[in-house]
Structure 1
């Protein structure tokens, strides 16, 4: 860290206790670094799951990228 670049007005960060998208509780499993939303119907989780499913590392669906997935979800499809 470079302390001399700090202004003194910094605010300490604290992880939110609720998901900013769906409002469900956010938890961190013991031994893990990641915090996760517990919302079963969280739209952000659904979006990321579909993006991963369509990605090259999974089904490699050409033309189905994040922008198209976002539009489809906005239209309820």
Structure 2
């Protein structure tokens, strides 16, 4: 226990960092967000269609989750 470091937790928006470790994002998959929005299961046809539509318009899933403003996603 003598070599144990105290871990300082930092939260800067969605970016988390523990002490001197590399910061990371804690993300929920896009299909799960869509499913929750529509009140259906993530494997449903409606979710797949909406997912494909968003990917076609905005690009990849990480770009949608990290960069695209929610208002812009709602406008689609």
- Whichever structure has more helix as a proportion of its residues is 2
Q: What TM-score bracket applies, with the shorter chain setting the length?
A: under 0.3
- Whichever structure has more strand as a proportion of its residues is 2
